[in-house]
Chain A
Amino acid sequence: MVNRSLIVNGTVKSISLIALITLLLIMVSPFAIITFNAFKTEDELYAHGPLSLPQSLNFKNLRETWARVDYTTKLWNSLVISTAVAFLAIGVSLFNAYALGIGRVKGKAFLLVFFILAITLPQEVLAYPLYYFFKSVGLYNTRLAVILVFTVLHASYGTYLLTSVFSVFTRELIDAAMIDGCNKMQLLFRIVVPLSMPSLSVLFVFFFIWTWNEFFLPLVFLVSNAKQTVPLAAAVFQTQHETLLTPQSASAFLGVLPCIIFFILFQRTLTKGITVGAIK
């Protein structure tokens, strides 16, 4: 009897593991397919179909696609825009949250509602007036336009999150620092910032990756090839080269690659951050 239940248990155990592995394989197979076909030539695809492994590790297709989309420029654009937004949005959030969470200025609740509403707004509702505005001030088709908009949008989230972090700071510490003759700038940069470093680093990673992944507003504001970002380039490439199948696969692969690197680099911060964000 004991033996039999052990066997049943063992079978359940292996079946559940096999089911999970199958599910996982389905989840990762799109990545595998794109990777295989990025390393194939067109002839290889036509001869062996999309599911076969590449015959050899042939970088020719990737190299040509890299040159064709001018991937170096796109990487640079994405890097500049995302880094600038991450730093600027942290700065704006920090100042806002300092006034709201620690300074507790009048109208705090009212302002917070505004920031929360800004997070939920669809970007379509801002797109045309911003497009018109940027055209009239000469910022259309510049990286700066995208940087400015995402700084403000992401800072809305940052303000909301940091305000709740700062609200629970002990008053004694702040009062003591003020009585010791700290001015408001010193209080912010010598006490508040060092103490909230964990939250700031989570926000930095969030802002960087969110900006990297944005599509709609960069599509509207960045028309010229030289200004476009990595996700935008992937979308433009596939509409311009409808029939080039393995190069399309290579361009998708190049779109995925940086994100895999970020994931490996930032994994700890991200998992920590996602759960923090959910509870707040």
Chain B
Amino acid sequence: MAHKISSLSKGYVVFLLPGVFAFLLLIVFPFLANIGLSFTKWSGIGKPIWIGLANYDKAMGDSSFWASFKNNLLLIVAMTIIPTIIGLFLATFLFDYIVDKFGQGVSSFFRAGFYLPQIIPLVVAAIVWRWIYQPNWGALNGLLKSLGLDSLTRAWLGDHSTAMYAVMGMMVWFQIGYPLVIFMAALQRVDPELYEAAALDGASWLQKFFYITIHLIRPEIYVVVLTTAIHALKIFAPIYAMTRGGPGKATIVASYFSYQNFFERSNVGYGATIATVLTIIIILLTTVFIIVQTRREQ
């Protein structure tokens, strides 16, 4: 029988050929070429000059490089930490309380409303918010003026001290729907009898939240944290559309910094270095997460 099945399983390799060929040509080869370029000095024309680790050396002492990754960390706060926490509370609230008091329909309606920003391209979301942050005729300053808070109005994206926070505010708005939808689906797996038993034992709402809810939907929390953290490290479009990394270096991020080196400054080698470092960080993060998660599941 074993022999028979193995003979039936033969001849499938041919189905892999187109996919693997395209994959090698358009992903593996460019990826390796990019690593190669990171060891060179090249303007994009002529021959790249081999300079070993000089680009990596330069990066270590480059304040723009550090500013980029610091801002990527701030984006993890705005895209992972804050939305996950708000999403957990909001999902529990909609799932437990609102469904109970107002019905499934009302709960689904709110869920859809909070999810709305997720359906539009991030770059369009950024343009919408750039409009809101506009200094003279933007909605945020308009709102502050109408409340008599004229002193608080400012050029949100043009001011060194507020630009990054303005970007972060937009990202929180954009991201909240994602954890909310995933956590609400996860909560459906949780056995309501557990809550009833806990309530009989005199557990408070907060205790139930921490000891039952969070504990049971942990796999989904891992997925949300990992995917949103990777997303935060890759952010490009909102920076391009809102601030171009400015004012100064206030909102520069790794991907935009590498784009500038590739296409605006013709420092192809240095751009490749930044992109490679970003990739290493993302792969490390993914690996660590998957190891931690598999350990906890066991």
Contact = CB atoms under 8 A, between A and B. Distances in A.
A-B interaction? yes
Interface of A: 13, 16-17, 20, 23-24, 27-31, 33-34, 37, 45-46, 49-51, 92-93, 95-96, 98-100, 102-105, 111, 114-115, 117-118, 120-133, 148-149, 151-153, 155-156, 159, 171, 174-175, 178, 184, 188, 209, 212-216, 219-220, 230-232, 234-235, 238, 245, 248-249, 251-252, 255-256, 259-260, 262-263, 267, 271, 274-275, 278-279
A122 B11 CA distance: 34
Contacts of B240: 215, 219, 235
Contacts of B283: 117, 120
A248 B127 contact: yes
Closest 5 A-B residue pairs measured CB to CB? A103-B12, A129-B30, A255-B124, A129-B33, A213-B121
A232 to B, nearest CB: 8
Contacts of B12: 98-99, 102-105, 184
Contacts, number: 256
B245 to A, nearest CB: 14
Contacts of A213: 120-122
30 contacts: A16-B101, A17-B102, A23-B114, A27-B116, A30-B173, A33-B131, A51-B142, A95-B16, A96-B16, A96-B19, A104-B9, A105-B16, A111-B16, A121-B31, A124-B274, A126-B27, A128-B37, A128-B262, A128-B271, A129-B31, A151-B22, A178-B8, A215-B122, A215-B240, A216-B237, A231-B124, A238-B130, A252-B124, A255-B123, A278-B185
A262 B119 CA distance: 9
Interface residues of B, number: 90
A129 B130 CA distance: 32
A230 B276 CA distance: 30
Contacts of A28: 113, 116
B18 A92 contact: yes
A131 B37 CA distance: 14
A274 B181 contact: yes
Nearest to B170: A30
Nearest to A78: B121
Contact of B26 (A24, A131, A148, A249): A148
A125 B220 CA distance: 29
Interface in B108-167: 110, 112-114, 116-117, 119-125, 127-132, 134, 137-139, 142-143, 145-146
B101 A278 contact: no
A122 B275 contact: yes
A235 to B, nearest CB: 5
Nearest to A24: B113
